Structure 1
């Protein structure tokens, strides 16, 4: 299957990238502080744990995000969305990946999930995307579809913050 858009990999160097004719999404959530939080969050993002904890079906050709890994996301048990990882990174202060839509995806575009640790030790999740509808039902959803995308991105932050919280050992 081939990508359904031309700007493949645009989010790698610029999470705010948004080619003409696409809608942008950029949601940043504070997860906590410190190296342990960063490593926990990075691992959850890179191994699909975040997505599975959100109740999203993930069928990937590898256990870990890496360039050219094929991923099919299943939403609500009904919508199958084929994607391919266009870039992945695992650095001391930044980890994440982006996938691009393939033929058959209800949207057209790219979405990135990036964990970074700033100079003061604060750990953030950024969910960034550019997209436009590709299927009739995505087009029919209009602004409501974009609202759901923003709610999904905010929920990613909420769930990842929960996954990174210290576990009570009592």
Structure 2
């Protein structure tokens, strides 16, 4: 698995990837101390996120932003990550996605590790990201990586055209040493 800096030319091939995932479980509150009460869903569904190509392109050109790709030896895109350094000196992981056909091969961990190193170079105080309680595999990955569940918002998605039933925004933080 090769990790490399992405460019604007890499954006269109991302649209051919399948970043959707099956939602078979949901994490329920109270969302305290990184504890997740995970329940099986009686009606599983598939979750798909729209790619915001303009935001991704911004990560290619802004000096305090990063766009990285994970590729297989055959140059297939296994996933990508974007991050940006904020005034609070926290690195925000804005996107992390892996192609459904290439999951469980270490792309997410390698991408996260590359952003971690970039954050260290920037002397960031930590990393932060947001995911949803319906993305249980991501939540478990972040917790296993060392992130702490630090907050949630039950109403963040209410204004969306079709808010998902029971979907809660979860905010994860990783504090950098030193």
What's the TM-score once normalised by structure 2's chain length?
Answer: 0.28
What's the TM-score once normalised by structure 1's chain length?
Answer: 0.29
- Considering Cα pairs closer than 8 Å and 6+ residues apart, tell me whether 1 or 2 has the greater RCO: 1
